[in-house]
Copies of this chain bind each other. A is one copy, B any other.
Amino acid sequence: MFRHGPCPLHTQGKESWVKAAVFAEPHHIEVHDVPMPQIVKPGDAIIRVIKACVCGSDLWWFRGIGQRQHGSLTGHEAIGIIEEVGPDVRTLKPGDFVIAPFTHCCGACAACRAGFESNCFNAEPGGNAGYQAEYMRAYSADTALVKVPADPKELSEDTIASLLTVADVMCTGFHAAKCANIRPGSTAVVFGDGGVGLCGVLSAKLQGAERIIAMSRHEDRQRVARAFGATDIVPERGDEAVAKVMDMTDGVGADCVLECVGTAQSTLSALAVARPGGTIGRVGVPHIDSIDVNNLFWRNVTLSGGPASVTPYANGENGLVAKIINGDIQPGRIFTANFDLDHVQDAYEAMDERRAIKSMLSIGA
């Protein structure tokens, strides 16, 4: 399912070539030799990728439901070692161990200053991609990358896996919980038992939720959900799921609802189980066009969420990186399958067919 040799779409007369995953067509990812990424702007960094992974949101275009350009480089989550930096990079140097987030943070615009780097006004068009590769380019490296204060050679594979989740999935689950306004003692319901939903469970626990109801019908995911702090598991879906949660909450509904799927059914169910004055934090890529906002209004239900930020959640003394290094959390448990880059097609298929919760790609060392 992969092919070596210079890719006709990426040939630009460069001398050195590296392997990278490339989208061919729905259900079909290839590995091509593409030009070694170069420093383009003075704030850029080139990263030698150690690990990358497949995102649940990639399945939309892998399945042909969402659109993606033929020949485009794939992947938006990675960790690796800085290989080279541009002349303006101040805080990073070759050899540094970094997380490459799916987001871009210029650190200066109104969105980044407010902590919403997914909405960075200075992001390059098209969104970040090309992380499922031997080498990748990151821009605004100083502010956009997350430096890990550790030598990857001294960290366990489990810790490395957990750090990789910070590139997107764990921060996305954390954003869902933040947006859902979790408070100490809250009752939270989490829709979605993929990597993001499970990280949502872990984040709800971290943010103080007392009761966490995980909507999950797959035994492997239920196990991780319980390990991450779920107190209740509800396997039902749709109206049955809503009835069950309402029954479990004495007809009141939940304080906080994390919507980590994005389908119409999941979104409508999430709206239905929020208590009066409750909050829905949604991070699932939305596949619903409109909702009955009058119903939300009369119930005083808040609808929040969107693409997550990484650096505000990852950095700092109490940030996710510190918690992982300290062994407080192990979000890397969501990786239940591991592939080399040549088998990236298998990595996608394992998630598409629900054989893996989330597929890791082990690329370098």
Contact = CB atoms under 8 A, between A and B. Distances in A.
Contact of A179 (B292, B302, B306): B302
A174 interface: no
Interface in A286-308: 286, 288-294, 296-307
A111 B291 CA distance: 23
Interface of A: 110-111, 114-116, 118-119, 121, 179, 250, 252, 255, 275-277, 279, 282, 286, 288-294, 296-307
A275 B111 contact: yes
9 contacts: A110-B250, A111-B275, A114-B277, A116-B276, A118-B300, A119-B277, A279-B304, A288-B294, A300-B306
Given A297-B286, A300-B307, A116 B277 contact: yes
Given A299-B119, A300-B118, A306-B300, A111 B276 contact: yes
Nearest to A284: B297
Contacts of A289: 292-294
A86 B250 CA distance: 30
A275 B294 CA distance: 23
A157 to B, nearest CB: 34
A354 B276 CA distance: 34
A359 to B, nearest CB: 26
Nearest to A278: B114
Nearest to A187: B110
A207 B267 CA distance: 32
Contacts of A301: 306
Contacts of A297: 282, 286, 305-307
A282 to B, nearest CB: 7
Nearest to A301: B306
A278 to B, nearest CB: 8
Contacts of A290: 290-293
A-B interface, 3 closest residue pairs, ranked by CB to CB distance from nearest: A119-B276, A300-B306, A116-B277
A99 to B, nearest CB: 21
Contacts of A179: 302
A110 B275 contact: yes
A286 B293 contact: yes
